[in-house]
Amino acid sequence: MVRIKSKEEIELVRASSRIVAEVLKLVGAMVRPGITTLELDKVAEEYIRSQGGEPAFKGYGSKQNPFPGTLCTSVDQEVVHGIPSKRVLKEGEILSVDVGVKKNKFFGDAAWSFPVGTISVEKQRLMEITEQSLSIGIGQAVVGNRVHDISHAIQKFVEANGFSVVRELVGHGVGLALHEEPNVPNFGKPGTGVRLQNGMTLAIEPMVNAGSFHVHVLQDGWTVVAEDGLPSAHFEHTIAIIDGKPEILTKA
């Protein structure tokens, strides 16, 4: 069931989302060759807790294999859910950072991809197209449209530019839970899916591969990688539909 939020509840989602945006700005400024993803993770957790929030991803998942980090840090062919580690970032890589925050029982969620030093023209284009596809998808989040109007707009733009959208992973509702209904795929048939209404809060998140859309999960049970080994990019915002239009809650 899709949960429609009151104005007061949207403000609580906004408060958590503001911390998310600040974390991405803080971490993004630190991304450079030579730093480890674990160092970024530590800074992120300290900042979230200093703002009265909790890292939403830490401990998420099954009791047998809970996610161990505050951030998901995914490098190059890692699409999402990369685990922070002592891995040193190298010149020319793409780092995708995903972060969620819980504060006062409500969640915010966003992701951004960053260049590590100077990257290739093709990687730069991959990042630009993915970021643009997020904006295009958000533009479809208006009252009267349906969820798959968002999905179709993202898919059409990405594929027209020679890239592919990951099929196995989707955006989602967000609010009292990190993942709520409805699912928001990055591909689909326009005019289908749940009808969009005021008070909906959604995490829209295109995950775009330079090559094939096929992915698989590594033995750690979390890290999703492109099967062909080509790079991937990931951009995400939490939005609310207010007065018929989308408002980005995770904008710095």
Q: What is the pLDDT along the chain (252 residues), one digit of tens a residue?
A: 999 999 999 999 999 999 999 999 999 999 999 999 999 999 999 999 999 999 999 999 999 999 999 999 999 999 999 999 999 999 999 999 999 999 999 999 999 999 999 999 999 999 999 999 999 999 999 999 999 999 999 999 999 999 999 999 999 999 999 999 999 999 999 999 999 999 999 999 999 999 999 999 999 999 999 999 999 999 999 999 999 999 999 998
Count of beta carbons in the 10 Å neighbourhood of residue 47: 19
Say if 2 falls within a structural domain. no
The closest of 167, 161, 160 to 183, measured between CA atoms, is 167
The count of domains in the chain is: 1
Instruction: Give a yes or no: residue 87 inside a domain.
Output: yes
Decide: residue 63, CB within 10 A, 0-12 exposed, 13-18 middle, 19+ buried.
exposed
Phi, psi of 54 (to 5 degrees): -125, 140
In a domain, 186, yes or no: yes
The CATH number assigned to the domain holding 157 equals 3.90.230.10
In a domain, 125, yes or no: yes
Is the residue at 116 inside a domain? Answer: yes
Tell me whether residue 102 is in a domain: yes
Q: Domain residues for 121?
A: 7-248
Q: Does a structural domain hold residue 94?
A: yes
Q: Does residue 65 belong to any structural domain of this protein?
A: yes
